[in-house]
Structure 1
Amino acid sequence: MKRKTHILHTAPIKNNCPTCFGTDGLEFTFIQEEKETPFFKKPAIEIENKLYCKTCKNDIYPVDWTEDIERVFDYNKKIAETNKQYLKVKPLFYISVVVAIVLVAAVVYILIPS
């Protein structure tokens, strides 16, 4: 099973970094993972987020966020559009369904005498 990640939204913000106190390096990234098997593709329900400071080159964890950063996070989370929840079926799924139906029909035809 393969997993792909899609960046939904990236937003540079002008808040102070809690580590280096710089105002020009913070950036939010919202990421969604997609699961792919031979039969289907399906995006994950949860959205991962990351706050990174380009100035001090550190990830800033939610424990260190200030109220201002949390407000900007809530705003950007609303902007980040998630991929709609879907289940994209691949051709191999349809082939296996048709083969299963044919096998069931063959078994029923053989077992029921006419």
Structure 2
Amino acid sequence: MKKKIHTLHTARLKNNCPTCFGTDGLEINFTQAEKETMFSTKPATDIEHTLYCHTCKNQIFPVNWTEDIERVFDYNKKIAETNKHYLKVKPLFYIVFIVAIVLVATTTYLLLPA
């Protein structure tokens, strides 16, 4: 099972970094994973987020966020558009499904008394 990660939204923030107090280095990323199997592809339901400061080269965890950062985070989370929760089946699924139907039909035709 493969896992792909798609970036949904990236934004540079003008807020102060809680670690180095710089105002031009914060960047927030919203990502979503996608699971791929032999038969289907399906995006994950949860959205991951990371806040990174390019000035001090540190990831800022939610424990250290200020109220301003949380406010901007909520705004950007609304902007981040998630991939629809779909189930995309691959051609192999259709082939296996049709073969199974043909097998069931032939066995019932051969086993039924005339």
Q: Structures share a fold, TM > 0.5?
A: yes
Partner of residue 71, structure 1? 71
Partner of residue 105, structure 1? 105
Aligned residue pair count: 114
| Unpaired segments ≥5 residues, structure 1 | none
Partner of residue 41, structure 1? 41
Matched, 1:54 2:54: yes
1:20-67, Cα deviation, whole Å (9 max, x unpaired): 111110000000000111111110110000000001111000000000
What amino acid is the match of 2:37? Answer: T
Partner of residue 7, structure 2? 7
| Unpaired segments ≥5 residues, structure 2 | none
- Could you tell me how far apart the structure 2 residues matched to 1:99 and 1:59 are? 51
User: How much has 1:109 moved relative to structure 2?
Assistant: 1.4
TM-score, normalising length: structure 2: 0.98
What amino acid is the match of 2:108? Answer: V
TM-score, normalising length: structure 1: 0.98
Partner of residue 25, structure 1? 25
- Could you tell me how far apart the structure 1 residues matched to 2:12 and 2:73 are? 11
- Could you tell me how far apart the structure 1 residues matched to 2:75 and 2:29 are? 13
Identity of aligned residues (%): 74
Q: Secondary structure at the match of 1:46?
A: coil
Q: Secondary structure at the match of 1:83?
A: coil
Partner of residue 89, structure 1? 89
1:70-103, Cα deviation, whole Å (9 max, x unpaired): 0000000000000011111110000010000011
User: How much has 1:8 moved relative to structure 2?
Assistant: 0.3
